[in-house]
Amino acid sequence: MRRMLVTGAAGFIKSNILGTHSLLKAVRRVWQIKGLAPDDHRFRHVSTDEVYGTLSLDEPAYTATTAYAPNSPYSASKASSDFLVRSYHHTSTVRTICEMPCSVRNKL
């Protein structure tokens, strides 16, 4: 298995976890102050397919039911932010949608 040198993990934690939490708190507060109906608004969270781990060429594609298996500090921080968004969706008036675009990289 190939190992990556990890540098700058604190930046991922700050932007992906703390940043997402700050945005969720701000959105909830603004919607409460303005008296906006929860069903009329959504918090759109963009994640990454890297939260599902790494696929080899012979493995099937990820689906929405694939278990999380982050393999780097970046993908772990994105998974953490996904869980924060999910928790706000289930425990507050903030309605959310989470998108997970595919990151495709090929060696040339």
Query: Which residue out of 52, 74, 82, 88 is catalytically annotated?
Result: 74
Q: What is the DSSP letter of 44?
A: E
Residue type for 80, please?
S
Residue 49 designated active-site: yes
Q: Which of 39, 40, 49, 99 is catalytic?
A: 49
Check if the beta carbon of residue 78 is closer than 8 Å to that of residue 99: no
Catalytic option among 50, 52, 82, 88? 50
Q: Which amino acid is at 48?
A: T
Q: Which residues are catalytic?
A: 49-50, 74
